Structure 1
Amino acid sequence: MTERTKHDPEEADLRRTAFDGALVGLVLLSDDGTGIRVANPALHALLARSSGSLDGAPASDLTADPDGLCTGIRVWRRADGVEIDVRVRRSQDVLVVEAVDADEAAHSEANRDAMAAAGLGEWRWDRRSGAVTLSHRAARILGQPPGRSVTWGVLRPFFTEPDRISALVKEAVENLEPARFETHLTIEGRDVVVRVAGQALTDEGGTFTGMVGVVQDITTRIEARSELLAHDHRLRAATAVARLGIFEWHMLDDHAVWENERMYEIFGHGPEDGTIGKTEFLTGILHPDDRAAVRKAISGALREDRDLQITGRIRRKSDGAWRTIEMGGRFERDTPDRLPRRLIGVVADVTDRRLAEERQTLLIRELHHRVKNTLATVQAIVGSTARTANDIDSFYEAFVGRIKSLAHTHSVLTEATWQTASLGSLLVNELRPYAEVAEAGGVDGRVVLQGPAIDLPSDVAVPIGMAIHELTTNAAKYGALSNRTGRVTVAWELEPVGPAGTLRLTWRETGGPPVSPPRRQGFGSRLLHRVLITQVQAEVRTDYAPDGFSLTMRAPLPVRNMSLNPLA
């Protein structure tokens, strides 16, 4: 207080009234600045103190911050210990204290460093003058000098979409709303992507006066995002070609995210069905026989921090079919010593591949079996033909004929992928060289074939084909086909006996030379009686009546092995 104040009670009372009635907090400090002489009611109210409780108290009661009494936004304490932000202004031993809101408290000189670290530059546009004021950071981003240096007319040519920007700013001004956009600039021949945000300003009467905002160079971020999107596109294209499903499994909430349509196809789910977590997968989708192995694989991958590789059978929801899948994935951890948060992986439906591998294995085994049987048949043909032939020419003729018949039967089987051979085709191909063949009850030909279409499984096609060859050869040499008037009638039917039925075939010759029982059993006879009985388990009955030879055979057909057909 001045000397005049000390000796002028009226002025002192006025000053005291102004001090007590001030709407902001006032503090009169002691000479050394460590104590409070007096604080006005506004400060007591701001700090939730009882009236006069701060008078004579140490200044440290106001704040624990050593700089808490300095000018600026500081943190002071209320009576209940809650810290609040206040703006402090100091003039010698007098402090002026007022509350600040959160936005003002957050704004400080340090914010400029934070904005610079974030790559943000500030700008201001004054509507009256048209000038744009740029901070140093904003000026560097836009390639302009800092300060009140440019206008929109100067900046406009640098933007690739100036009309769009003008429209966005106009809309923000009309609605007095923030404007935000990303755009490209060309600065010194370099393409730059910036993100701009601005807010319209008005005066006290609500008239628009300009805009303030920030600008940020996001070129590197956009390039990284574009590369990430391109990488994601390439990955999705590769997985689509490979028909792989992509998924994420979040462990904490046992929730799965399916990243592409292939996952839904593999599990037979529609969009309305959603995805499945680990619990449902292990207890409801995976085959019971595979659950223990899959659980063990998951535990091992978690424990040893390695890739997960599992194979199992799942029941597809759409049709209930069991499908074999292979799954590979990697657990992601925040840090090496923490439990993983999620599993990222791929799934492949390998059912068709597994079936193809099984079929290939069976086909190889079948091929070995057929080769062994064929070699045994050839060996038998050589031995028996040699024993019954009178000279080398007759041996050659009989041997070559039998080998051709064997080769023809194998050719028919090969065309059908070693599955079946048509009985009608075997008969027609053997009999056609000797006489005209009439099928399905025809009477014009010397050979009549009567019977339904029957495909012989490979197990019986070879021996029956050999039997047809022997019957045809004997008929051509000694029987009905050895003259011009003889006829051969072959009739067959499928009896409903056994798992695949029983073939009943009758071979009947008429009109040929008189027939008498053979004096000795040749190869043909042995094949008819031994091979058919042994390999086909057939019942064979022959009749050498004088008016013509006949044979009746009843052979049970084996069930066709569908797994041997790669096209099935």
Structure 2
Amino acid sequence: MSPSNVTGHEWGHEDLRRAVDAAGVAMWSWNVDTDSLAMDPRGYDLWDVSPHQALSFEKLSEKIHPADRDRVREAFAATRSATGRYEIDFRTLVGEEVRWISARGQGGDVGIKDRAMTGVFMDITGRKQAEEGNELLAGEMSHRVRNLLAIAAGLTKITGRSSTDVNDMSRQLTHRLMALGRAHDLVRPLPGGQGKAALLGDLMTVLLAPYDDDGAFAGRIRVAVPRMGIGEAAATSLALVVHELATNSLKYGALSVESGTLDITGVLAGEDIRIDWKEHDGTDQASGAQTGPGTNPTRTSDGYGSNLIRQTVKSQLGGTISYDWNDAGVVVSLVCAVSRLSQ
């Protein structure tokens, strides 16, 4: 039973043309003896060539991306002997723009007429870009997971050495991993083409929020740093540094007493940024006892926490860190190359 008997409509050239236009495909014809190539108007637009000049497959091949050109030529030559349908995806260069095209037809000279093979071209650039985006995302997620697992393993080892018992290890490790998680969640694409990163000020604020929101601590932590993007690796490393410094401050420093405050400031100097962690009034005013800087174990800079910070800053951030204890509190200065923080 023919389609016309089923639908009551005779299919003709105009019907085919409308269907081809709706599908967004371009038709081509290739004479296998003379190598001459002809396309419909959509095909000439797709390849950005003039319909008013003689065109050969060899000439058209010059528009194919150099990395795909030999493969496509060999594939088209092979279609003469390979029976059945074929589909070849490849890239073209239109000026500086890369397009993806899919060539489809019947191999083995099936349906050949007047020594000319026929087929269609389809612009599949959008689909290929989506596929590449998905592959990039999958690769990035795999990379981030591997990095986090490696960091978690290192933290477990360090925490195990510095813990007094299983409960203490569990508490310390949980807090450190939570700090990593907050930094990990914050990394995202930034507006204005700044790349995939977190803003430095946002990162500091999120990491210190648990300490600032706790009752008497509210408003005691102030952050004033330059607006700049921080990359995934740097964000994870800074999270470790900030968590260790905040933990020390909560135990022994300015955040351990009601009168203490914490200021984090930053300034750009050439290709570097200097971030200062300044603790103030780490003294219990009621008793007059120096509960903060004077008794802070990090004064000796040989504790596990201090070693973790120093190693992280040096190896992961390519920077330096220094401590200055004074009567008002500790000042921790971190100097890093801006280029390293964007990674």
TM-score range, shorter chain: 0.7 to 0.9
Distance in 1 (CA, whole Å) between partners of 2:327 and 2:73 is 78
Deviations 1:34-67 (A, max 9, x none): xxxxxxxxxxxxxxxxxxxxxxxxxxxxxxxxxx
TM-score, normalised with respect to structure 2: 0.75
Distance in 1 (CA, whole Å) between partners of 2:109 and 2:141 is 52
Aligned twin of 1:346: 120
Match status 1:408 vs 2:182:
yes
TM-score, normalised with respect to structure 1: 0.48
Counterpart secondary structure, 1:537: coil
Distance in 1 (CA, whole Å) between partners of 2:110 and 2:176 is 76
Q: Is the 8 A contact 1:332 1:343 kept in 2?
A: no
Residue 277 of structure 1 and its aligned partner are, at CA, apart by 4.0
Residue 280 of structure 1 and its aligned partner are, at CA, apart by 2.8
Residue 466 of structure 1 and its aligned partner are, at CA, apart by 1.6
**1:510 maps to amino acid:** H
Structure 2 unmatched runs, 5+:
284-289
Match status 1:256 vs 2:38:
yes
Evaluate the alpha carbon distance shift between residue 495 and residue 378 of structure 1 in structure 2; reply closer, same or farther with a 3 A threshold. Answer: same
Structure 1 unmatched runs, 5+:
1-219, 437-443, 562-568
Evaluate the alpha carbon distance shift between residue 315 and residue 470 of structure 1 in structure 2; reply closer, same or farther with a 3 A threshold. Answer: same
Aligned twin of 2:287: none
**1:227 maps to amino acid:** W
Higher relative contact order (CA 8 A, sep 6+): 2
Residue 359 of structure 1 and its aligned partner are, at CA, apart by 4.1
Evaluate the alpha carbon distance shift between residue 320 and residue 534 of structure 1 in structure 2; reply closer, same or farther with a 3 A threshold. Answer: closer
Distance in 1 (CA, whole Å) between partners of 2:152 and 2:69 is 51
Aligned twin of 2:280: 510
Distance in 2 (CA, whole Å) between partners of 1:426 and 1:413 is 9
Match status 1:540 vs 2:310:
no
Aligned twin of 1:529: 310
**1:482 maps to amino acid:** S
Q: Is the 8 A contact 1:258 1:275 kept in 2?
A: no
Counterpart secondary structure, 1:302: coil
**2:274 maps to amino acid:** R
Evaluate the alpha carbon distance shift between residue 249 and residue 491 of structure 1 in structure 2; reply closer, same or farther with a 3 A threshold. Answer: same
Aligned twin of 1:290: 68
Aligned twin of 2:241: 467
**2:205 maps to amino acid:** V
Q: Is the 8 A contact 2:200 2:226 kept in 1?
A: no
Deviations 1:412-459 (A, max 9, x none): 13687x9322221221123234337xxxxxxx9432222222221112
Residue 487 of structure 1 and its aligned partner are, at CA, apart by 2.2
Tell me the matched-pair count.
319
Aligned twin of 1:227: 11
> When you count helix as a share of all residues, which structure comes out higher?
2
Structure with higher Rg: it is 1
Match status 1:322 vs 2:98:
yes
Deviations 1:2-52 (A, max 9, x none): xxxxxxxxxxxxxxxxxxxxxxxxxxxxxxxxxxxxxxxxxxxxxxxxxxx
Aligned twin of 1:78: none
Deviations 1:96-146 (A, max 9, x none): xxxxxxxxxxxxxxxxxxxxxxxxxxxxxxxxxxxxxxxxxxxxxxxxxxx
Match status 1:399 vs 2:173:
yes
Residue 389 of structure 1 and its aligned partner are, at CA, apart by 3.4
Evaluate the alpha carbon distance shift between residue 288 and residue 303 of structure 1 in structure 2; reply closer, same or farther with a 3 A threshold. Answer: same
Evaluate the alpha carbon distance shift between residue 273 and residue 540 of structure 1 in structure 2; reply closer, same or farther with a 3 A threshold. Answer: farther
**2:96 maps to amino acid:** G
Evaluate the alpha carbon distance shift between residue 510 and residue 323 of structure 1 in structure 2; reply closer, same or farther with a 3 A threshold. Answer: same
Percent of residue pairs identical = 24
> When you count strand as a share of all residues, which structure comes out higher?
1
Aligned twin of 1:20: none
Evaluate the alpha carbon distance shift between residue 333 and residue 531 of structure 1 in structure 2; reply closer, same or farther with a 3 A threshold. Answer: closer
Distance in 2 (CA, whole Å) between partners of 1:335 and 1:268 is 28
Evaluate the alpha carbon distance shift between residue 304 and residue 431 of structure 1 in structure 2; reply closer, same or farther with a 3 A threshold. Answer: closer
Q: Among residues 43, 46, 53, which one is paired with 1:266 in the alignment?
A: 46
Q: Is the 8 A contact 1:332 1:344 kept in 2?
A: no
Residue 555 of structure 1 and its aligned partner are, at CA, apart by 2.6
Counterpart secondary structure, 2:61: helix
Aligned twin of 2:207: 430
